[in-house]
Chains A and B, each alone.
Chain A
Amino acid sequence: MDIPTINFTISYLITGLLLLVLAIFVYNRDRQNALNITFALYSLSIGWWSIFSMFMINATSEPVATIWDKICLIGTMFIPGTFFHFISTFLGYSKKYKSVIKINYLISIFFLFTIFATDLFVATTEPKDYIRYFTRPGFIYSVFVAYFVLVSSIGICFLFAAMRKESTNLFRKQQLTYLFWTSLFGYMGGTFNYMLVYNMTNSNWAALGNYLIAIYGVAVAYIILRYRFLDIEVLIKKTLVFTGLFSSIFILVSLSILMMQQLLQYLLNKVVHINMWISLGISIIFMMLLYDKLKTFLINVTNKYLFQKKYNPTELIRAFSRSILTELDLDKIAKSTVEKLVEALKLTSCAVLVPNREGNKFVIRGSYGISDKKMSYERDAHMISYLSKVNSTLLKNREKPLAEPIRKDMDVINASACFAIMIRKQLIGVLCLGKKKSDEDYMESDIDTLLLLADALGVAITNALAFEDVRQKEKLAAIGMLAAGIKHDIGTPINKMSSAVQSFLIAKDEGDHQKMSLNEIISEAYNLLKRCEITFDTVSAISSKFADFARPKRQAELELINVPVSIEDAIGVFSCELQARNISVKKNIQETIAPIKADKDYMQQILFNIIKNAAQAIEEAHRSKEESVISITAKEEPENKVIIEISDSGVGIPEDGLDRIFEPYYTTKQERGGTGLGLAIVKELVERNAGRISVKSELGKGTTFTLEFPRAKT
């Protein structure tokens, strides 16, 4: 076979099989629906024509080719009639044009009669271009072509008119527009075949025309099954993948046959003509060995582009719950949700929206495939208020179109479906899902699963927000403990200054100043005021240090943290308290430690909590002043790790308590009124900063907490 014939053959084979499969598929989807039936008939006619055309061009002799041609024309005869029937049904004209439809079928039967009863339609076949056998048109053939063009044009004109007329339903208008254009291109593709009949083009163009017909078939089938249209991009992608799959299988089979023939000839060491069927059998065995790999590959490719992979909803919910419900970090919850959904549903985009700190806007906390991550919705945006007040789901591409403003809101975030995340009738988040990569719609089963996930997400988000509150409360409780220290730190400089001021005032009251010149008095007063000014700055700096620590914060802000400075700050907040408890701090801090990437506030709370625990443990052990020591070491280790070790000489933790020490509500110091959340919070915060925490302890000797953080990439 020569290349043009192979090319032409493949185009017929693909188009033919595709349309036959579509006919069966569409018919099976709804056997009662006139639209499905008429399309199936239409598609069957084209498929028939395509398959038998293939047989014709590959026939072994001229008479055989002619027989194939006549069989092929059976399908062709019904293309105009079924097309008109299908278009009439689609446009709702089938009652009005009932007789026209019937006449069309009668005309088809009449032509069919002429094919087999006379030689006026086709008598013989003849070579065209490189093709050995192709239709040689008789007189009636030309009449039929004229009839074909007429009916097809009428059908397409009907579509055009309906498209222009439709103005109220934008969705329907879009549907008609697509159908009009795809029909036009499909028929243009078909025209190449007639041009080849009349020697007006070559077979390569005709092959290209066949592919246009195939694309047209897929597009129309999609319209019927989904009540909407495929993106032209997705349409071409799907057709190409199908074609690619088909060709690869075809090439694989041919190659294996060829190879087997060569191999057998080589093995038998003589030129033998091996029976084609034997080598085919052997190559089938060969392919069966490769079957699994080939199947996985084909499934993967088709899953990605052709059909959505069937995910297991139970499995998805389980995996989702496992990772989301135990998580306390809102960002991780959002990120993980997006990842899981994109993976399971093969989404082009996805986002989780939650209210911002002020609560007036919904902002993106986790997203995929969305370019503008900083975008936000006002609380009264159409989409948001619809979700919170009207319905907890929003779906585009349903038969009933959404109100325009809501659609616009959804377009901003590329959403095809939005789900409200509600807790106690309050909207606490929105789950926005983009189109599936396969471009399929969200099915009822998807929606059921997603509603369940939205509920779980609601619980997770609530937990995460509650954790933030608890963290804040724990911090404030710790600050309460610092009250003495704060008062001392602020009281000391004020007391000093006040003593100087009182001395001056009392001296004045008691007449001491009479011995001094006015200039001397002014100069003394000036110096005093100047020192007051400095004292104000000192006191203000101290109070901001504590205020900084107490400041509530909702969202982590990662920044480069200088570890030595961070440790000094934490000790600084604590210094007076430690002094009052006679505890000294021994520092061994490598000043050259590389910065780590962490949230400053979290870091402060981590260090503060551990130092606080150390101080309490030492106090409980009733150590002498010399033995009351907290040692803090910080160093950088070779594998880009920053290690902070905080050891105390306190009571230590019993072994059975060591495993539980980071559990919430586990506490050994009830009498002190600890919340039992301190170390649980510390662990969570360390992990949020990509760090690890571990503890070693010897009962009666002391405890060491080790923090490990990755150094920031520079």
Chain B
Amino acid sequence: MTDKIKILLIDDDIEFINNFGRFLERRGYEVLKAGSGSHGIEVAEKEKPHLILCDLIMIDINGDEVLKRVKVSNPDTIFIMMTAYVDDKTKIKLKILGAHSFIEKVVKFIPTEEYIRQVLRENNQVHNDNN
């Protein structure tokens, strides 16, 4: 199906993106995965995902840098930052850069998927759940 929602997961924790990715796929999303910030930017430019879930602190490039670059190539992509902890100052900085919202790690699969669906709906992106 071509109208599947494309979600890009960027995190240097490969096991996490595999597990979470598998879960999202079962819920009918098309999942793209990138194990580093730079790879994430590449995939985003090529695949133009509807939504990106990106870790803030990564080994090569941090999430804020990824956000900056992605917003240049695909300004309409919904960019959600995943982070263990973020202080208010950083939060405001990231909001200005164009981050949609924040998900606190540890990521809970089911509520997170519900949240993603809600965000998509608000942005007029309808996700057809095949379940």
Residue in A483, A500, A502 whose CB lies within 8 Å of B85: A483
Output the least CB separation between B106 and chain A (Å). 5
Interface readout for B69-88 with A: 1 if CB under 8 Å, 0 if not?
A: 00000000000000111110
Chain A 470-484, CB-CB to B under 8 Å as 1, else 0, gives 000000000000011
Cross-chain contact A500 with B19 (CB below 8 angstroms): yes
Do B84 and A490 touch (CB < 8 A)?
yes
Known: A483-B85, A506-B23. A494 touches B106 (CB 8 A): yes
Flag if B19 contacts A491 (CB, 8 Å): no
Q: CA A499 – CA B20 in complex, angstroms?
A: 7
The yes or no answer to B56 lying at the interface (CB within 8 A) is yes
Which chain A residue lies CB-closest to B112?
A502
The answer to whether B62 and A495 touch across the interface, beta carbons within 8 angstroms, is no
Q: Are A495 and B19 in contact (CB under 8 A)?
A: no
Pair B23/A503 contact, Cβ less than 8 Å: yes
Instruction: Determine whether the beta carbon of B13 is less than 8 Å from that of A495.
Output: yes
Q: Is B121 an interface residue (CB 8 A)?
A: no
Select one of B59, B86, B90, B106 contacting A495, CB under 8 A. Answer: B106
Contact-residue bracket for chain A: 20 to 34
Residues of A within 8 A of B13 (CB): 492, 495-496, 499
Whether B86 and A500, one on each chain, are in contact in the complex, defined by CB atoms closer than 8 angstroms, is no
Whether B95 sits at the interface, judged by CB under 8 Å, is no
A625-B110 Cα distance, complex, nearest whole Å:
36
Known contacts being A576-B57, A579-B62, is A492 close to B110, with CB within 8 Å?
Answer: no
A487 to B106, CA, bound (A): 10
Interface flag for A498 (CB, 8 Å): yes
**Beta-carbon contact of B16 and A499 below 8 Å:** yes
Query: B23 touches which one: A484, A502, A579 (CB < 8 A)?
Result: A502
A500 touches B23 (CB 8 A): no
Say yes or no for A290: interface residue by CB 8 A criterion. no
Residues of A contacting B20 in the complex (Cβ-Cβ under 8 angstroms) = 499
Q: Does A488 contact B (CB under 8 A)?
A: yes
Count of CB-CB pairs between chains A and B under 8 Å: 67
Report A-chain residues with C-beta under 8 Å of the C-beta of B107: 495, 498-499
B115 interfacial contact with A, CB 8 Å? no
Q: If the complex has contacts A502-B23, A503-B22, A580-B62, are A484 and B106 also in contact, measured as CB distance less than 8 A?
A: no
B57 & A495 in contact (Cβ 8 Å cutoff): no
Q: Smallest distance from the beta carbon of A66 to chain B beta carbons, Å?
A: 111
Chain A CB within 8 A of B15 CB = yes
How many residues from B make CB contacts under 8 Å with A?
Answer: 25
Does B46 sit within 8 A of A, measured CB to CB?
Answer: no
Decide: B15 and A492 in contact? CB cutoff 8 A: no
State whether A506 and B85 are in contact (beta carbons under 8 Å apart), knowing that A500-B15, A576-B57 are contacts in the complex.
no
Q: Mark A65-102, 1 if CB is under 8 A from B, else 0.
A: 00000000000000000000000000000000000000
A498 to B15: give the CA distance in the assembly, Å.
10
**Chain B hits for A496, CB < 8 A:** 13, 15-16
Given contacts A484-B85, A491-B84, A500-B15, contact A579 B22 (CB under 8 A): no
Distance (whole angstroms) from the CB of B35 to the closest CB of chain A: 13
Kindly state whether residue A177 has any CB partner on chain B within 8 Å.
no
A510 / chain B contacts, CB cutoff of 8 Å? 26
**Which of chain B's residues has its CB closest to A489's CB?**
B84
Known: A495-B13, A580-B62. A488 touches B57 (CB 8 A): yes
Q: Are B62 and A487 in contact (CB under 8 A)?
A: no
A604 — which chain B residues lie within 8 A by C-beta? none
Question: Is the beta-carbon distance between B62 and A499 smaller than 8 angstroms?
Answer: no
Complex Cα gap A576–B86 (Å): 13
Residues in chain A near residue B62, CB distance under 8 A: 579-580, 582
User: Which residues of chain B come closer than 8 Å to A490, judged between CB atoms?
Assistant: 84
- The residues of A that contact B85 with a CB separation of less than 8 Å are 483-484, 486-488, 491
Whether the pair B15, A499 counts as a contact (CB closer than 8 A) is yes
Q: A371–B83 Cα gap in the complex (Å)?
A: 59
- Give complex CA distance A579, B61 in Å: 9
Contacts of B15 in A (CB 8 A): 496, 499-500
Distance from A105 Cβ to chain B, minimum over Cβ atoms (Å)? 101
Please report the C-alpha to C-alpha distance between residue A52 and residue B111 in the assembled complex, in whole angstroms. Answer: 117
- Report chain B residues within 8 Å CB of A502: 19, 23, 108-109
Report yes or no: A499 in contact with B57, Cβ–Cβ below 8 A: no
Chain A residues with Cβ below 8 Å from B83 are 488
Min distance, Cβ A606 to any Cβ of chain B, angstroms? 26
Q: Closest residue of chain A to B56, judged by CB?
A: A580
Instruction: Tell me the bound Cα distance from A536 to B78 in angstroms.
Output: 35
With both chains docked as a complex, state the minimum distance between the C-beta of B43 and any C-beta of chain A, in angstroms: 20
Given contacts A492-B13, A499-B15, A580-B62, contact A506 B84 (CB under 8 A): no
Cβ–Cβ < 8 Å partners of B39 in chain A: none
Q: Is the CB of B105 within 8 A of A492?
A: yes
**Which residue of the partner chain, among B16, B90, B109, contacts A506 with CB atoms under 8 Å?**
B109
Cβ contacts under 8 Å, B65 to chain A: 582, 625
Q: Return the chain B residue nearest A486 by Cβ.
A: B85
How long is the Cα–Cα vector from A488 to B59 in the complex, in angstroms? 13
Nearest A residue to B87, CB-CB: A484
Contacts of A486 in B (CB 8 A): 85
Taken together as a complex, chains A and B put the C-alpha atoms of A411 and B18 apart, in Å, by 76
Q: How far is the CA of A483 from the CA of B105 in the complex (A)?
A: 15
Contact A491 B23 (CB under 8 A): no
From residue 496 to 513 of chain A, which have CB atoms closer than 8 A to chain B?
496, 498-500, 502-503, 506, 510
Most buried by B among A483, A494, A502, A579: A502
Residue from A484, A492, A498 within 8 A of B86 (CB atoms): A484
* Nearest chain A residue, comparing its CB with the CB of B22: A503
Give the residue name and chain of the B residue nearest to A481 (CB).
Answer: B87
Given contacts A492-B105, A495-B16, A499-B16, 15 further A-B contacts (CB under 8 A): A484-B86, A487-B85, A488-B57, A488-B85, A492-B84, A494-B105, A495-B106, A499-B107, A502-B19, A502-B23, A503-B22, A503-B109, A506-B23, A579-B59, A579-B62
Residues of B within 8 A of A (CB): 13, 15-16, 19-20, 22-23, 26, 56-57, 59, 62, 65, 83-87, 90, 105-110
Provide a sorted-by-A list of 30 A–B residue pairs whose CB atoms are within 8 angstroms. A484-B85, A484-B86, A484-B90, A487-B85, A488-B84, A488-B85, A491-B84, A491-B85, A491-B106, A492-B13, A494-B106, A495-B84, A495-B105, A495-B106, A496-B15, A498-B106, A498-B108, A499-B13, A499-B20, A499-B109, A500-B19, A502-B108, A503-B22, A503-B23, A503-B109, A510-B26, A576-B57, A580-B62, A582-B65, A625-B65
Q: Which 10 A-B pairs have the closest CB atoms?
A: A491-B84, A487-B85, A499-B19, A488-B84, A503-B19, A487-B84, A499-B16, A495-B105, A484-B85, A498-B106
